[in-house]
Amino acid sequence: MSRKPDVLETAESIGHAVRKRERSAVEVARVFVERAERSAPRLQTYLHRDAERTLAMAADVDRRVQAGETLSPLAGVPIALKDNLCTHGVPTTCGSRILEGYLPPYDAHVVERLRAAGAVFTGKTNCDEFAMGSSTENSAYFPTRNPWDLERVPGGSSGGSAATVAALEASLSLGSDTGGSVRQPAAFCGVFGLKPTYGAVSRYGLVAFASSLDQIGPFARTARDVALLFNEICGRDERDMTSRAEAKPIDLEGLERGVKGMKIGIPRDLLSDGVDPEISASLDRVTKTLREEGAVVIDVTLPHARYSIATYYLIAPAEASSNLARYDGVRYGFRAKSEDLQTMYASTRGKGFGREVRRRILLGTYALSAGYYDAYYLRAMKVRTLVRRDFDQALQLTDAILLPTTPTPPFKLGEKVDDPLAMYLNDIFSIPASLAGAPALSFPSGKTRSGLPIGLQLVGKPFEEGTLLRVARTWEKKSGDPLGVPPIVNGGGRA
Amino acid sequence: MSATRPAPESPSKTETAPTAGRYETVVGLEVHAQLKTASKIFCSCSTKFGARPNTQVCPVCLGLPGVLPVLNERAVRFAVMTGIAVGGTIATRSVFARKNYFYPDLPKGYQISQYDRPLSSGGQVEIQVGGAWKRIGLVRIHLEEDAGKSLHPEGRQGVNTTLVDLNRSGVPLIEIVSEPEIRSGNEAYDYLIRLKQILVYLDVCDGNMEEGSLRCDANVSVRPRGQTAFGTKTEIKNMNSFRNVERAIAFETERQIALLESGGRVVQETLLWNADKGKAEPMRSKEEAHDYRYFPEPDLLPLDLEPRWIESVRKDLPELPYQVRERLTRDFGIPEYDAEVLTETRALASYYEEVARRSGSAKLASNWIMTEVNGIRNKQGQSIEEFPIRPDRLGMLVKMIAEEKISGKIGKQLFEMMLTRPEDPEALVKSQGLLPIDDEASLRALAREVIAANPGPAAEVRAGKERTFAFLVGQAMKQSRGRAHPEKIQAALKKELEAT
């Protein structure tokens, strides 16, 4: 009961130790809580953190272990939740002023599942307001910093969830991905991030940004840990009509089978310009390794993928403009004092939402307006169908598509915040899979010369998350631990 | 509205300005009917009417962050039943859409409805105009959720307060849109009566306008007779009874005609019916300037219905008003008018059928229900289900009259008693001394009594004044409280007059 937990311990081994009573959940929780006490204030990973509640949850898990309950592999594992996942009685702000102080009266489906599994929640992580952004700088409260370089962004919108796992403040975390919001911060922070197939995980209790694109996804430091967390949250939920029964847990041992005979496609046409040379080099290294391991790597084309950003920035804001209409100051959240109803609406929403959110609401409102609908929204939906078809065709020839997660390594805070277009372009490689509804995984593939993480992305057939993790696991085993631990974990780190 | 409706031929009193003859009224109705499901359309909250404000709510119908709608299959079934009943084409794929607008009683900032791909298209409702049937075509029927209710209580010391009750938020509705084929307030009234009748027969809506389970908006325009192009229309809202719909259309028709006659133009606008003033007044323009920005609801998959399932719903459909009407005229041989009155509700038709069967006299049963039973029910505002004389007892009564065991007069006395007493008519006849007097000896004794009590008139009859005989018969009936057999007492009187 007294062995000191290893810094590099996986969620799998923590869960194992807790269930075998080799270590108490409280003991584990304390290690993570103490680490967070040190680094979280500098990284600004959390919007809401309650150490007492975390330890109480851990104590409860220990009681369940003592009572001889059969517990899930995640029992006693410290897990962070993005602040757009509803937690009963615990603040859920989505990084927005408009939901300051809002306490949901219910748990999101994934939160409910994890509670039942005996997971220990470390807190609610910072994010871009309503998950709109790629740097977590759009949080109404404060920006989160990249654990590898405190002057750089952790990516977004799930920047807090990515950074907290990278900095070992939590063993695992959940984020949400609409156009890359799990994969891009995973790449920037040097961890694994999975956007499951659309419909694989119930969205019940995920505060909606763009309903036809949103998916909840896990962050972890190993491929196997991604599978463990995915297995706990996937599957049909009666409360989400878009959730699907085809979503089945992944066989962990299947991840060890290597890539011999597998076909990997690389969309060369999409990579022709704008990819950082160090990322291209990393892609080549991974390709070489996979070939050596017996995979066949071929070129594929995704001819419509280059229209993805334009398409995405019509569909996502259109849905958002409607999804965010409920924040009107009438029933909950922030309300601006006003003389009459119309002014109250305008002033509440004008003051309660940040710039990026307002920009997207305006974009979406415009795209859905009478006279513009056909030219914008309807056309975008048609292009979306073409993008999906591209993936279907490319994946008929291959088991997975390999491409960078981002065109560049993490950028500096403030570098793109005033240039929305540059910020949007950062999602060029992640948005196509979102439009297609396909599963996509970002895994750490190496470091730049200056020590910043690089992530690559695998996209697969619907409900074949396991195939992606199997490829990533093969690379993981061959490469060892290419990143190590960010300096801040041991008290270091600039700024 | 009254428990029974007036005969279809009887025209209502509203209508017609002097110039109306030169114009034609064109009306299309949009009816919202609340479906009689136990739970709401997208969550499991109760739909029960009249609960304390905001007690039948959950995160879903409150539109809290993160919630998702789950479609109530029963609501779909009810909507499909309605579509089939009116002869609509049921879409094997229909699509939910969001209708976006801000209002305090609309918690999500959008209403989930259907837009370009409704559940049912086409169909018709048959109405009666001047004794003939007229077909009013339907455009569509679609499913949607209701919004909450805004209440504006008297402000304390000039403070304007609006309260919101979200119990109704998410209650399932169908919207039934008619073609602009209705030509008067009167036709609109009959259309609504018939539509409600279908919905109530299907048991998919309780048809209660006061509780808001049936609501109606009217699009009204006028055009010179013979012109095919439509005039500019106005939309009238806030009519809380069928009669008010009729009155509002009549009002608006006259207003538009007067406007055109005086050289003015009709402006397309939304009007609110003010029942107290009997006027339709313009709504503030701010509230009607909406671009609803419809788009497919991404939280719900398209609604795909198996043709086989639609067929099974069709097979399970209960009998519709016109079918019952046809059956009653065919099986019982009653006039079409009677069948029309007796099929007002399914329950009344069943009531009639039982009385007719038990009495063995279909027409007499019909007369008794149309006059006596409906007379009481109209006075008391009772439904047939609440009516105290159940069909088995009324059947016995009608049978006794049909078989001439009692007179119609005695029958009415018994009927009155049966309203407050539980006994069968046979038992009441005995216990109340209402047995008919039809044996020779008793009739002769009664005749003697009457003659003795009325010596003057008796003398007149004997002197040949035939008309006074009727007086003596009347006295005999009065004396016997109607129990004397009407023909036999005449014979007895004649015999006694001759004998004495």
CB spacing of A239 vs B70 below 8 angstroms: yes
Backbone angles phi, psi at A47, to 5 degrees: -90, -30
What is the C-alpha separation between A440 and A401, in angstroms, rounded? 9
Residues A192-245 have pLDDT tens digits of: 999 999 999 999 999 999 999 999 999 999 999 999 999 999 999 999 999 999
pLDDT per residue as tens digits for the range A24-70? 999 999 999 999 999 999 999 999 999 999 999 999 999 999 999 98
Residue B317 DSSP symbol? P
Question: Residue B129's beta-bridge partner residues?
Answer: B132
Query: Which structure tokens are listed for A467?
Result: 């195939």
Check A72, A157, A158, A176 and give the catalytic one.
A157
**What is the reported pLDDT for B5?**
39
Lowest mean pLDDT among B78-87, B126-135, B483-492: B483-492
Residue B4, pLDDT > 80, answer: no
**What is each CA distance from B287 to A154, A164, A346, in whole angstroms?**
45, 48, 15
What are the domain boundaries of chain B? 28-152+161-220+284-314, 319-431, 440-499
CA pair distance B403, B188, nearest whole angstrom? 44
- Is it the case that residue B10 has pLDDT exceeding 80? no
In one letter, which amino acid is B185?
G
Q: Is pLDDT at B15 greater than 60 in this prediction?
A: no
Do A330 and A297 form a contact (C-beta atoms < 8 A)?
no
Across chain A, what does the average pLDDT equal? 95
pLDDT at A188 > cutoff 80: yes
Phi-psi label, residue B109: left if phi above 0, alpha if psi -120 to 50, beta otherwise: left
Q: Choose between B8 and A369: higher pLDDT.
A: A369
- By the 8 A CB rule, do A219 and A162 touch? yes
Per-residue pLDDT at A339: 87
The share of chain B scoring above pLDDT 90, in percent, equals: 75
Inter-chain residue contact B64 with A345, CB threshold 8 Å? no
How far apart are alpha carbons B469 and B461 in whole angstroms? 6
CB proximity B116 to A under 8 Å: no
* Nearest Cα to Cα of residue A74 among A57, A91, A56: A57
Question: How many A×B Cβ pairs under 8 Å?
Answer: 100
Q: How many residues does chain B have?
A: 500
What mean pLDDT is predicted for residues A407-413? 96
Number of other CB atoms surrounding residue B408 within 10 Å:
13
Out of B65, B66, B298, closest to residue A319 by CB: B298
pLDDT higher than 70, residue B468: yes
- The nearest CA of chain A is from the CA of B23 a distance in Å of 34
- Catalytic-residue membership of A369: no
pLDDT at A3 exceeding the cut of 80: no
Give the per-residue pLDDT at A94.
Answer: 98
> Is the per-residue pLDDT at B120 higher than 90?
yes
**Arithmetic mean of pLDDT over chain B:** 91
**Count of C-beta atoms within a 10 Å radius of residue A294:** 12
Q: Give the separation between CA A148 and CA A273, rounded to whole angstroms.
A: 27
Exposure b/e, A217-254, CB count within 10 A at least 16 = b: bbbbbbbbbbbbbbbbbbbebebbbbbbeebeebebee
Model confidence at A248, pLDDT cuts 50, 70, 90, reads very high
CB contact under 8 A, A242 and B301: yes
Q: Which of A304, A318, A306, A307 is nearest to A378 (CA)?
A: A318
| Residue pointed to by tokens 């599963």 | A439
Q: Which residues of A388-410 are buried (b: 16+ CB within 10 A; e: fewer)?
A: bebbeebbeebbbbbbbbbbbbb
CB A36 within 8 A of CB A122: yes
Percent of chain A at pLDDT > 70 equals 98
Examine the pLDDT at B259 and tell me if it is beyond 80: yes
* Spatial CB neighbours of A365, under 8 Å, sequence gap ≥ 6: A321, B293
List Cβ<8 Å contacts ≥24 apart for B238-244. Answer: B238/B272, B238/B273, B238/B274, B239/B273, B239/B275, B240/B209, B240/B210, B240/B275, B241/B1, B241/B209, B241/B210, B241/B275, B242/B1, B242/B189, B242/B192, B242/B193, B242/B196, B242/B209, B242/B216, B243/B1, B243/B189, B244/B273, B244/B275
Cα separation, A326 vs A208, in Å, equals 11
How far is A105 from A92, CA to CA, in rounded Å? Answer: 11
- pLDDT tens figures, A343-388: 999 999 999 999 999 999 999 999 999 999 999 999 999 999 999 9
Reported confidence tier of residue A5, pLDDT bands at 50, 70, 90: very low
pTM: predicted TM-score of the whole model, two decimal places = 0.90
Phi, psi of B139 (to 5 degrees): -80, -50
Give contacts of B70 with chain A, Cβ < 8 Å: 238-241
Residue-wise pLDDT tens digits, B270-307: 999 999 999 999 986 555 567 999 999 999 999 999 99
Reported in sequence order, the residue ranges of B258-352 that DSSP labels E, i.e. its strands, are 270-274, 279-282, 295-296, 303-304
Q: Give the span between the Cα atoms of A105 and A49, in whole angstroms.
A: 18
Distance CA A175, CA A186 (A): 10
CA atoms of B105 and B108, how far apart (whole Å):
9
Q: What is the nearest CA distance from A305 to chain B, expressed in angstroms?
A: 22
Distance from CA of B65 to the nearest CA of A (A): 5
Does any CB of chain B come closer than 8 Å to the CB of residue A205? yes
List the domain boundaries for chain A.
11-304+387-490
Which residue, among A350, A326, A85, has the nearest Cα to A216 in the 3D structure? A85
- Given this model, what pLDDT does residue A223 score? 97
For residue B438, name the pLDDT band (cuts at 50, 70, 90): confident
Rounded CA separation B12/B254 (Å): 16
Of the two residues A488 and A413, the one the predictor is more confident about is: A413
pLDDT tens per residue across span B306-341: 999 999 999 999 999 999 999 999 999 999 999 999
Q: Are A202 and A461 in contact (CB under 8 A)?
A: no
> Above 70 in pLDDT, residue B182?
yes
pLDDT of residue B18: 53
List of chain A residues whose C-beta atoms are within 8 Å of the C-beta of residue B299: 208, 211, 241-242
Select the residue from A112, A242, A328, A385 to test the B interface by mutation, using most B Cβ atoms within 10 A: A328
CB neighbour burial string for B271-310, b if at least 16 within 10 angstroms, e if fewer: bbbeeeeeebeebeeeeeeeebbbbbbbbbeebebeeeeb
Q: Supply the DSSP symbol for B47.
A: -
Q: What number is the average pLDDT over the span B17-30?
A: 84
pLDDT at A2: 36
- N-terminal to C-terminal alpha carbon distance within chain A: 38
What is residue B404's predicted lDDT score, i.e. its pLDDT? 85
Burial of A53 (C-beta count, 10 Å sphere; 0-12/13-18/19+):
middle
> Residue A491: CB partners within 8 Å, gap ≥ 6?
A38
pLDDT at position B348? 96
pLDDT digit string (tens) for A88-141? 999 999 999 999 999 999 999 999 999 999 999 999 999 999 999 999 999 999
At A56 the three-state DSSP class reads: helix
A456 pLDDT more than 50 = yes
Check: CATH 3.90.1300.10 for A11-304+387-490?
yes
Confidence of residue B156 (pLDDT cuts 50, 70, 90): low
Mean pLDDT within B85-89: 98
DSSP state of A10: -
Nearest to B66 among A104, A319, A377 (CB): A104
- From CA B25, how far away is CA B12, in angstroms rounded? 17
Of A183, A63, A141, whose CA–CA distance to A458 is shortest?
A: A183
Question: CATH classification of B440-499 is 1.10.10.410, yes or no?
Answer: yes
Parallel, antiparallel, or unpaired for β B110-114 and B23-34?
Answer: unpaired
- H-state helical runs in A238-340: 277-292, 308-323
Q: Enumerate residues 287 to 346 of chain B having a beta carbon within 8 A of any beta carbon in chain A.
A: 291, 293-295, 298-301
CA–CA dist A28, A7 (Å, integer): 11
Between helix A355-368 and helix A341-352 the angle, nearest 10°, is 120
State the DSSP code for A87.
B
Tokens representing residue B399 in the block? 């049978």
Phi and psi at residue A322, to the nearest 5°: -85, -45
Q: What does the alpha-carbon distance between residue A213 and residue B81 come to, in Å, rounded to a whole number?
A: 35
Confidence category of residue A493, pLDDT binned at 50, 70, 90: low
Q: CA-based angle B389:B395:B398, to the nearest 5?
A: 105
Beta pairing, strands A263-267 & A400-404: parallel
What pLDDT, on a 0 to 100 scale, did the predictor assign at position A8? Answer: 61
Three-state SS at B98: strand
How many C-beta neighbours within 10 Å does residue A355 have?
12
pLDDT band at B483 (very low <50, low <70, confident <90, very high): confident
Supply the pLDDT for residue B77.
98
For residue B303, the chain A residues in CB contact (below 8 A) are none
Question: What is the arithmetic mean of pLDDT over B43-50?
Answer: 94
Measured distance CA(B478)–CA(B453) in Å, rounded: 13
From B63, B64, B69, residue closest to A104, measured CB to CB: B64
Residue A72 falls in the annotated catalytic set = no
Question: Nearest Cα to B220, choosing from B231, B208, B234?
Answer: B234
CA distance linking residue A249 with residue A83, whole number of Å: 25
> B170 — contact with chain A (CB < 8 Å)?
no
Q: What is the pLDDT of residues B228-258, one digit of tens each?
A: 999 999 999 989 899 999 999 999 999 999 9
Q: What DSSP string describes A383-452?
A: HHHHHHHHHHHHHHH-SEEEEES-SSSPPBTTSSTT-HHHHHHTTTTTHHHHHHT--EEEEEEEE-TTS-
Query: pLDDT band at residue B435, thresholds of 50, 70 and 90?
Result: confident
Chain length of chain A: 495
**B70, B98, B291 member nearest A241 (Cβ):** B70
Contact call for B301 and A369, based on CB within 8 A? no
B67 in A contact zone (CB under 8 Å): yes
The confidence score (pLDDT) of residue A319 equals 98
Most B CBs within 10 Å, among A107, A215, A330, to test the B interface? A330
d(CA A26, CA A15): 12
* pLDDT for position B8: 41
Mean pLDDT of B421-449: 88
Least confident of A315-329, B31-45, B202-216: B202-216
Which residues from chain B sit within 8 angstroms of residue A85, using beta carbons? 66
Cα separation, A159 vs A127, in Å, equals: 6
Determine whether B444 is exposed, middle or buried from the number of CB atoms within 10 Å of its CB (0-12, 13-18, 19+).
Answer: middle
